[in-house]
Structure 1
């Protein structure tokens, strides 16, 4: 919640020409019958090839339900858009992980009020103490 309130947003990710070529190749390899779209099962295989995990039923349902109901699967452009969003989310999560690690000076896996206070004194020395206390206490 703190990051969204602070205005942090996922970075944008744009596939380079070589990355786009690889994504198109994965799409074509998973579209075995050359239908021009990926079925639910084709989509799962493509995600495994690109990200190294099998998407959950919930993730697959979410992606498939967001598609045009008149289509039988995910088109190349929809697939490329899915990958872009996924990559942007990975960048955002990595950024959050780096920030957390910087705050967690004692490598405990959690942050104390003291950790917050020290970090904010370095990055935002003029920030009122009450703001730090309010952020730390958010549920």
Structure 2
């Protein structure tokens, strides 16, 4: 995505106290037998409860491989960090989609060079057209290579 190439980072986001409390409650509800950690299956249930989807095998594998090998599952602190990062990524993607939609005036699902130029003129009017063209071509080339 463009932001990673430009070196920008999504803004950090902090959960409200009520949201943090909800995450802790979900952890406790999914921690069968009050063992102090979430197993792989417990984690999947927690994600469904918080985000409304069942994580893929790849996502579950990734999370479980990141867990301290000296523990039997995901501790509360790790769970809260995972949930915060997922929420932050979700909000960032939503923000990017919102910005894109604002510039996709013809509702095509893509931006033409003219759309791109108009967008940059609105948000960065002093940016040279040469740079705008270079960014557009780079993104277009990268997109074609992904296909």
User: Which TM-score band applies after superposition, normalised by the shorter structure?
Assistant: over 0.9
Q: 2:33 aligns to what?
A: 33
Q: 2:145 aligns to what?
A: none
Q: Which runs of 4+ in 1 moved over 6 A?
A: none
Q: 1:123 aligns to what?
A: 123
Paired with 1:93 and 1:7, the residues of 2 have a C-alpha distance of 16
> 1:71 Cα deviation (Å)?
0.9
CA-to-partner distance for each residue in 1:22-81, whole Å, 9 max, x for gaps? 111111110111110000000000000000000000000001101111111000000000
Q: Please show how residues 57-136 of structure 1 align to structure 2 within 5 Å.
A: 57-136=57-136
Is residue 2–residue 135 contact of structure 1 (8 Å, CA) maintained in 2? no
More helix by share: 2
TM-score computed with the length of structure 2 as normaliser: 0.90
TM-score computed with the length of structure 1 as normaliser: 0.94
Q: CA RMSD in A?
A: 1.1
17-26 or 112-121: which moved more?
17-26
> 1:5 Cα deviation (Å)?
3.1
Is residue 10–residue 91 contact of structure 1 (8 Å, CA) maintained in 2? no
| Change in 2 beyond 3 A, CA 1:106/1:59 | same
Is residue 39–residue 73 contact of structure 1 (8 Å, CA) maintained in 2? yes
Aligned residues: 139
> 1:13 Cα deviation (Å)?
2.1
Is residue 9–residue 92 contact of structure 1 (8 Å, CA) maintained in 2? no
Paired with 1:64 and 1:115, the residues of 2 have a C-alpha distance of 43
